[in-house]
Amino acid sequence: MKTLLKLAGSLFIGLIIGMFIAVTIGALIEGESPLQVIKSLFDKESLPKMISILWMLLGLLIAYILHIAIHEGGHLVAGLMTGYRFVSYRFMNWTVIRKDGRLQWRNFELAGTGGQCLMAPPDKPIEQIDTRWYNAGGVLANILLVVIAAVLLFALDLPTWANEFLSIMIVIGILVALTNGIPMKLGGVANDGRNLLQMEKDLPAKQSFCNILEINARSQEGQTYSEMPECLFELPQPFDWKNAMHVGSALSLATWLMAQHRWEDAYQLLTEALDNKDDIMALYQLELENMMTQVCIVMGRDDEARQHYSKDIAKYVSRHAPTQSDKQFTAMAVALALDGDRPRAEKIYKELEANRDKYIHQGDVALSLDLMHWLLDNKRDNYQTT
């Protein structure tokens, strides 16, 4: 919701500023005074134009919202048609999940994404699992909506405002389809086209994709990382740090190692990942730095943790802590070890424990609480850093 309001606010402010500058320049060229310019914005001739422009702005917002919602719905339909199981559907921060056989509302945020539909893969050999339709479903849904809007626009005699809105729907739909269909990264996140292309070329990447979906589904259902099959955390071979699916598997493995309290192994894996950070997309770089901060604090490497916990990571953690329990663990660990504020650390732990049911990924919550409890018991004021 905050993202949507920021978008609306930015567009509105930009529109007002642009209109004022354009009208002012035009009026000054014609020799009018600044006071006459201001009055002209609200006269009988200008007011209809302003209303028309405001309607266009509203149309842009509505069209964008519809196309994002339809895009994620396309993933859902395509996934169900090819044997996937529904796990969650998110638009902006609003998320619908299936829990205990019922649909429930939750709040979740992921930087760089306007929505996301997550499903669990079919229980089949990897060669028999289709990932093409699941990844292409969103773009196909946008194209279908564009076709419907075009048919209505040219086949029906509609009011001017309706024709304008349908035209906007067509333009926005084409843009959304292109930005999701043409392989690229948006905001540091690989889009559908890039994911589809990677999995068609690389069977290990396809396996990583399915493993990540399965881990997400199990975590949402409350299964802890220690309870999950070890095979879900195997790294693809040969490994490629430039491949987002491979890196996603490395992140999952690091989380699993932390669940096993295998700190040295997790540290070595994260060190190797950060040595290759220039090849890794921006969102995963943030996740790696966040996890390395956690591991360094657990291992007593507080000075090294401070190097990883930059202002950007602190901002990233603060933004996502309300919906991601592992960011709560980072905030707690930083408060305890780096800030020396045990009361605040204990408060964060108690709040997460009290509000654990509000989070989507219950497996992550269980892990975060376990690590918080371990850290509170082992990280004393006289703990020696290395």
pLDDT of residue 384: 40
pLDDT in tens, the chain (386 residues): 444 445 555 555 665 566 556 555 655 566 666 566 556 656 666 666 666 767 777 888 889 889 989 999 999 999 999 999 998 888 777 788 777 777 777 766 665 556 778 889 999 999 999 999 999 999 999 999 999 999 999 999 889 888 989 999 999 999 999 999 998 876 656 788 888 888 888 899 999 999 999 999 999 888 999 999 999 999 999 999 988 899 999 999 999 999 999 999 999 999 999 999 999 988 899 999 999 999 999 999 999 999 999 999 999 999 999 989 999 999 999 999 999 999 999 999 999 999 998 888 899 999 999 999 999 998 754 344 33
Please name the residue ranges forming H helices in the chain: 2-29, 34-40, 46-81, 132-155, 160-181, 192-201, 203-220, 244-259, 263-275, 282-298, 302-308, 311-320, 325-333, 342-354, 362-378
The three-class DSSP label of residue 338 is: helix
Asked if 244 and 198 count as a contact pair (C-beta separation under 8 A), the reply is yes
pLDDT of residue 14: 60
Asked if 271 and 246 count as a contact pair (C-beta separation under 8 A), the reply is no
The span from the CA of 167 to the CA of 83, in Å, is 36
Phi, psi angles (nearest 5°) of residue 344: -65, -40
Question: Which residues neighbour 316 within 8 Å (Cβ) at sequence distance 6 or greater?
Answer: 111, 286, 290, 327
pLDDT of residue 385: 39
Question: Encoding tokens for residue 365?
Answer: 């919550």
The span from the CA of 14 to the CA of 95, in Å, is 30
Q: Give 121's DSSP letter.
A: P
Q: How far are the Cα atoms of 57, 200, 201 from residue 133, in angstroms, in the given order?
A: 33, 12, 16
The span from the CA of 293 to the CA of 317, in Å, is 11
